[in-house]
Amino acid sequence: MPTGNKSEDVILLAHGDGGRLTHELVTGLFLRHFENRLLRELTDAAAFPVGEGRMAVTTDSFVIDPPFFPGGDIGKLAVCGTVNDLAVSGAEPRYLTVAFLIEEGFPLADLDRVVASMAQACQEAGVQVVAGDTKVVGRGHLDKIFINTTGVGLIRPDVDLGYHRLAPGDLILVNGNMGDHGMAVLAAREGFGFADQVVSDCVALHRITGRLLDELGRGVRLMRDLTRGGLATSAKEIAVSAGMDIWLSESEIPIGLAVQGAAEMLGVDPLYLANEGKFLAVVAPTEVEKALTLLRADELGREARIIGEVKAGGGNVFLKTALGGTKYLDLLAGAPLPRIC
């Protein structure tokens, strides 16, 4: 019987960081009650047949603190984050629903700023808000503003992405520097002096992922949005779900100098920091050079790199360090940066 005085009896901040405790909560509790074929895949968006095509649906909640940060705000983040979940699932984003949960006393001018930012992000992404809801709670019962979104998109019949597509020899690409969003939010939250040197990468990715699918077709095996838990956690989830090992090369993983320096100073690992404009793609080796050329021709993929390879194995992730050693990477454990999105 739960006692109420043990950490395993209550929800911790770490249950929301996208790491080990999140995984245990999702698989051990939510899946136990809601289990079905679509949910069991645990992908960024559920895809199911509608008529002759397929529809993708995703939902997300945004509780970021602070709600305004270098490079964006909670409104822009809500739109881009939802669009990106659809994009890496191979869908063309079409519609959003939005629900606002607002604390009494939140400045109306700030709400206007958030909604205007959302509207601009929707226009840039080519999506429409078609339904919504607003709730207001008393002071102290919620922190400023939370936003929940649901995104709907369409998947072309020829798109086939999934863990089942991975094969030994496939190569792993990312479209740019790791950790920008996580470090930007941390700097803004804590008032660090380097706050003006790091800007969130918050941006919609559907156009660049769409071009990748247009040009490479089935040469793209899988894509993942590198948000909570960062690159390392996403790689581990992919390895476990695919039943294969992933080998990453530390020297090939792009990290900006400001983020690297700040991470070393603060003792955090950039590979576990959240990103809001970066994705991972697993690509067939015959198509990888074409993929790199395409990504680097886009402003959202200038720093694209091949960072690793899929190998036969049992769901492990290994990092070849710059010093020639090998490091085992696991799911994020703990909560170095809660409320990051």
Q: What is the pLDDT of residues 247-270, one digit of tens each?
A: 999 999 999 999 999 999 988 999
Q: Give the per-residue pLDDT at 333.
A: 80
Among residues 238, 211, 212, which one has the least CA distance to residue 308? Answer: 238
Query: Could you tell me if 280 and 212 are in contact, meaning their C-beta atoms sit under 8 angstroms apart?
Result: no
Q: Give the per-residue pLDDT at 4.
A: 47
Both tokens of 35, joined, read 């289990």
pLDDT tier for residue 195 given thresholds of 50, 70 and 90: low
In which element (H, E) is residue 78 found?
helix 74-87
d(CA 85, CA 97): 14
> In DSSP terms, which residues pair with 329 in a beta bridge?
317
- Listed in sequence order, the residues at least 6 apart from 290 whose beta carbon sits closer than 8 Å to its beta carbon are 215, 216, 219
Query: Could you tell me if 236 and 331 are in contact, meaning their C-beta atoms sit under 8 angstroms apart?
Result: yes
Residue appearing with tokens 């629900």: 99
59 φ/ψ sector (left φ>0, alpha ψ -120 to 50, else beta): beta
Q: Give the per-residue pLDDT at 6.
A: 52
Residue at 141: amino acid letter = H
Alpha helices in 88-129 (DSSP H): 108-125
d(CA 40, CA 36): 6
Task: Identify the burial level of 267 via C-beta atoms within 10 angstroms of its C-beta, where 0-12 means exposed, 13-18 middle and 19 or more buried.
Answer: exposed
- Listed in sequence order, the residues at least 6 apart from 199 whose beta carbon sits closer than 8 Å to its beta carbon are 70, 71, 180, 184
Backbone angles phi, psi at 89, to 5 degrees: -90, 0
Among residues 204, 220, 225, 207, which one has the least CA distance to residue 292? Answer: 220
- Which DSSP symbol is given to 1? -
Angle at 19 between CA 18 and CA 21, to 5 degrees: 105
Round the CA-based radius of gyration of the chain to a whole number and report it: 20
pLDDT tier for residue 303 given thresholds of 50, 70 and 90: very high
- Which DSSP symbol is given to 262? H
d(CA 162, CA 42): 11
The two most distant CA atoms of the chain are separated, in Å, by 58
Query: Could you tell me if 220 and 294 are in contact, meaning their C-beta atoms sit under 8 angstroms apart?
Result: no
Q: Which domains does the chain have, with CATH numbers?
A: 36-155 (3.30.1330.10), 163-329 (3.90.650.10)
Residue 154: count other Cβ atoms within 10 Å of its Cβ: 18
Output the pTM of the full model.
0.88
pLDDT tier for residue 38 given thresholds of 50, 70 and 90: confident
Q: Give the per-residue pLDDT at 3.
A: 43
Calculate mean pLDDT across residues 314-335. Answer: 91
Among residues 169, 153, 178, which one has the least CA distance to residue 245? Answer: 169
d(CA 290, CA 212): 9
Query: Could you tell me if 184 and 276 are in contact, meaning their C-beta atoms sit under 8 angstroms apart?
Result: no
Among residues 234, 261, 233, 248, which one has the least CA distance to residue 305? Answer: 248
Q: What is the pLDDT of residues 124-179, one digit of tens each?
A: 999 999 888 899 999 999 999 999 999 999 998 889 999 999 999 999 999 999 99
296 or 36, higher pLDDT: 296
